[in-house]
A and B are shown apart, each in its own frame.
Chain A
Amino acid sequence: MNWLDTIIQGVLLGGLYALFAAGLSLVFGIMRLVNLAHGDLIVLAAFLILALVTALGLNPFLATLVAIPIMFGLGWILQSQLLNRTLGPDILPPLLVTFGLSIVIQNALLEGFSADSRRITVGPLESATFALGPINIGVMPLLTFLSSVAVIIGLNQLFYRTSLGRAFRATSDDRVTAGLMGVRPDRIFATATGIAMVVVTIAALYLGTRANFDPTIGPARLIYAFEAVIIGGLGSLWGTLAGGVIIGVAQTLGAAVNPEWQILSGHIAFLAVLLFKPRGLFPRSAE
């Protein structure tokens, strides 16, 4: 067994988990909303890309570019018409509503696309690899990881270099005072969810090309996303990437020892981090 190879595959897989988690982290960081339908929204985006590929004969990457504005708009409407109404001092309504939304999305996808397991094919790229010394690296896993790094860099730039990012942080700090500055919290939240859906769409491309998916797999993706966010520390985007990588490496290491241990070892790594660093590896502030 080649440990280095196993670890590198795990790091690349971690990029996928970081993509699952980045949107969740963004939304939670800005409006303290835990979106339990996040995993199902990833699956929804995967079906949207698949539909664009089959109906219009588009290349999957091109289809993703088409899906991104659609998903942004969906996120905007979802937040401004539904989720904004659930936000308040009580944390239960958003949990209940997004839990219900998760069920609605799963059943709508079941109606629309059946329970068959599907896949987005990218042709020869799927199995393309190149040798890096003794290790073979898959082109798609590498693209996944590079995309996750690009997404994290992009979100950090947006957060810390733009006027919109200032408004995100100010609204997260103090919604009422942000309103006094001319910031409209409901629009800020809608924009944030729209951006989260852009990340979700990118995650969906790599989810759908990596393995088969069907309408029921969303909640499991949500678990990985949660674990990555919490390992990294709430509010830290780079921490989220680190969290994704830790789960990815733990899973491939576990699978290398015994294929049955793949999922379990990811969860154990999460529990271990929680045991020793309950606030995650890179908590943003001492709240």
Chain B
Amino acid sequence: MALLETRALTASYGDFQALFGVDMTLDVGETVAVVGANGAGKTTLMRSIAGVLRNGSDQIRFDNEPIGTLPAPEVVARGIAMVPEGRKLFPSLSVEENLLIGRYGRAVEGPWSLDAIYDLFPVLKDRRNSPGTALSGGQQQMVAIGRALMSNPRVLLCDEISLGLAPIVIRDIYAIFPRIRASGASIVIVEQDIGQALRVADRLYCLMEGRVTLEGPPAALSREAIHAAYFGASRS
């Protein structure tokens, strides 16, 4: 049975509808990639699941309970943490404070603690007292991932974590995903850059204009099929 599931998920910003009935599942221990062009609805999907956007109650189910109408603080309390697009570190907080606020107001059991995050990203320990925004882009992304892990999530949502980073930095960041998986978290990775996503994902969803255009394990999908689903070549 799926740990996280969306059923005919729709989402709108005012009059503009961004998602048109998205069905997606995430099983325990699985890593799923969601790819698509700019404006395909990937970030809207993440923001819907995380509770930033409100949806129909039954459109999103977690642990077989409807969570579509829950606000973000209650979603994270249930075990879904997000690494938001653009990292969104708190400029008034130091690196360590940014990490600590990831588990605000809760005593959470699990493998991730401050020490475990510093073990995962040793460079952050040296910069722990710097303002979060004084770090390089790659290090800021490490803080953003560490901050989400601090809540010991059962589902980790990663929104465009390679955006604006150098390829070598992206490779370093993706290199830690096996360790996150090994900790027991299920992962959703949203990317425009298909290459990285395909390498770590068990399954792939391709979004275009708010709809799922392709789904399946990367090995079963041809480059041409993904290309068509991504850019919509087959529809024209």
Which residues of chain A have a CB within 8 Å of any CB of chain B?
163, 166-167, 169-170, 172-174, 176-184, 285
Contact = CB atoms under 8 A, between A and B. Distances in A.
A174 B86 CA distance: 13
B84 to A, nearest CB: 6
Interface in B138-168: 147, 151
Contacts, number: 69
A163 B93 CA distance: 11
A166 to B, nearest CB: 5
A45 B134 CA distance: 43
B90 A177 contact: yes
17 contacts: A163-B104, A163-B105, A166-B100, A167-B104, A169-B92, A169-B97, A170-B92, A174-B88, A174-B90, A178-B90, A179-B52, A182-B73, A182-B103, A182-B104, A183-B101, A183-B104, A184-B71
Contacts of A181: 73, 76, 101-102, 104, 147, 151
Contacts of A163: 100-101, 104-105
Given A179-B71, A181-B73, 9 more contacts: A166-B100, A167-B101, A167-B105, A170-B90, A180-B72, A180-B76, A182-B105, A182-B151, A183-B104
B114 to A, nearest CB: 13
A173 B88 CA distance: 10
A285 B97 CA distance: 18
B97 A166 contact: yes
B98 to A, nearest CB: 8
B52 A173 contact: no
B52 A176 contact: yes
Interface residues of B, number: 26
B91 interface: yes
A173 B105 contact: no
The interface centre, meaning the residue of B51, B71, B72, B82 with most chain A CB atoms within 10 A of its CB, is B72
A183 B73 contact: yes
Contacts of A179: 51-52, 71-73
A142 to B, nearest CB: 34
A192 B151 CA distance: 24
* The 6 A-B residue pairs with the shortest CB-CB distance in the complex, in nearest-first order: A179-B72, A169-B92, A177-B88, A173-B90, A170-B90, A182-B76
Contact of B93 (A170, A180, A182): A170
A122 to B, nearest CB: 40
B17 to A, nearest CB: 21
A167 B101 CA distance: 7
Contact of B73 (A166, A169, A184, A285): A184
A184 B50 CA distance: 14
A173 B102 CA distance: 15
B106 interface: yes
Contacts of B105: 163, 167, 182-183
A173 B72 contact: no
Nearest to B108: A182
Contacts of B72: 176, 179-180
Contacts of B97: 166, 169
A169 B100 contact: no
B180 interface: no
Contacts of B90: 169-170, 173-174, 177-178
Nearest to A163: B104
A180 B52 CA distance: 8
B52 to A, nearest CB: 6
A180 B82 contact: yes
Contacts of B92: 169-170, 172-173
